[in-house]
Amino acid sequence: MTARPPLVDSFDRRIESVRVSVTDRCNFRCRYCMPAEGLAWLQRTEVLTFEEIERLAGIFVNRFDVDGLRITGGEPTVRAHLPLLIRKLAALGVDLAMTTNGATLANLAHELRDAGLRRINISLDTLHRDKFEQMTRRDELERVLQGIDAAKDAGFAPVKINAVIERGVNDDEIVDLARFGRDRGVEVRFIEFMPLDATGHWMNDKVVGQDEIVAAIDAVYPLEVVPARGAAPANTWRYLDGAGTVGVIPSVTKPFCGDCDRVRLTADGQFRTCLFATTEFDLRRLMRDGASDDELAAEIQRAVGTKWAGHQINQVTFVRPRRTMSQIGG
């Protein structure tokens, strides 16, 4: 059997994971992701069909030996018939995961698990109902908590919780969120606040960095580092008392760009080599114009060759992407 050539960028980083957004729509309006009103949704004809997503995923997996797909949005569970797509992608035999706000999981968790989804990340930035409504503009905390329980009951392992920490908003809950993870048997991954908010009001002094987060937790629940992050976005620590692990994704203060192994496909078929990329490659147009798999693979290779060394958030040359997180894919 002929070995499949890896997808490698100009800095010799091998691409092994693709984040696939299936919709730009969401049932929340999180402040660090979307405006309260006025964001124009993609038209249905602009969104990739399940068949188009399956075709592109097959090229990544079968041509380039990509071994991980993560389904994102928007909120992926608002895409109709999502378990059908999960079943198609699971047939490719790769590590299949999803990031969700969790609000619909009480109804969908078992069906998604049965379709072949194996790992799940659920967003939870606060444990207080009033603050949850302030941050998401929705009064849905109880449904998210029910969704976390449903994911565990369905057999997802691990269940991870993503918590974006913003100074002056929810940084007083770092220890409480860590305690929640310990008590519920889930791994909380704290995420530094990134410049992808829809209003453009991000400032560096709003970022609570990894060192500060870890110090706050360690003061209450002593930690030891788990070595070798590699290409994974999160640094991980284990609790010395054996109560699991906790992670931090330090995209701003300690970026992992040098080991980055991921690329992105937006809901409208634009290929992006970085979350913060300012250039997109239109795979949807190529497909709908009749491109062969060979031609699509060649365009993907060409695009990966342009992948930056790093996102430059902390440099004066940094330029924000023109699209919000929900439009790119979380």
Q: pLDDT tens for residues 102-114?
A: 999 999 999 999 9
Statement: the pTM of the whole predicted model exceeds 0.75 = yes
The CATH architecture of the domain made up of 7-328 is: Alpha-Beta Barrel (3.20)
Percent of the chain with pLDDT over 90: 75
pLDDT score of 129 more than 70 = yes
Q: pLDDT tens for residues 272-298?
A: 998 888 899 999 999 999 999 999 999
60-74, 223-237, 288-302: lowest mean pLDDT where?
Answer: 223-237
Provide the pLDDT confidence category of residue 307 given band limits of 50, 70 and 90.
very high
pLDDT score of 2 more than 60 = no
pLDDT score of 196 more than 70 = no
The closest alpha carbon to 76, from 66, 89, 60, 65, belongs to 89
Provide the pLDDT confidence category of residue 232 given band limits of 50, 70 and 90.
confident
Mean pLDDT value across residues 181-193: 96
pLDDT score of 1 more than 50 = no
Q: pLDDT tens for residues 11-48?
A: 999 999 999 999 999 898 888 777 777 678 999 999 99
Structure tokens at 15: 């691409």
Mean pLDDT value across residues 228-241: 85
CA 41, CA 181: separation in Å to the nearest integer?
34
Percent of the chain with pLDDT over 70: 94
pLDDT score of 53 more than 80 = yes
The closest alpha carbon to 117, from 22, 183, 184, 32, belongs to 22
Structure tokens at 311: 């996102």
pLDDT of res. 43: 96
pLDDT of res. 54: 98
Q: What is the mean pLDDT of the chain?
A: 92
Provide the pLDDT confidence category of residue 223 given band limits of 50, 70 and 90.
very high
pLDDT of res. 197: 60
pLDDT of res. 229: 62
Mean pLDDT value across residues 76-81: 97
Q: DSSP labels for 147-172?
A: HHHHHHHHT-SSEEEEEEEBTTTTGG
pLDDT score of 81 more than 90 = yes
Mean pLDDT value across residues 289-315: 91
Mean pLDDT value across residues 4-16: 93
pLDDT of res. 251: 87
pLDDT of res. 200: 63
pLDDT score of 318 more than 90 = no
The half-sphere exposure of 255 on its side-chain side, counting CA atoms within 13 A, is 17
CA 305, CA 9: separation in Å to the nearest integer?
5
pLDDT of res. 303: 97
| Secondary structure class of 121 (helix, strand, coil) | strand
Residue 44: burial class (beta carbons within 10 Å; 0-12, 13-18, 19+): exposed
Q: Does 255 sit behind a cis peptide bond, omega within 30 degrees of 0 on the bond before it?
A: no
pLDDT score of 92 more than 80 = yes
Q: pLDDT tens for residues 153-163?
A: 999 988 999 99
pLDDT of res. 230: 66
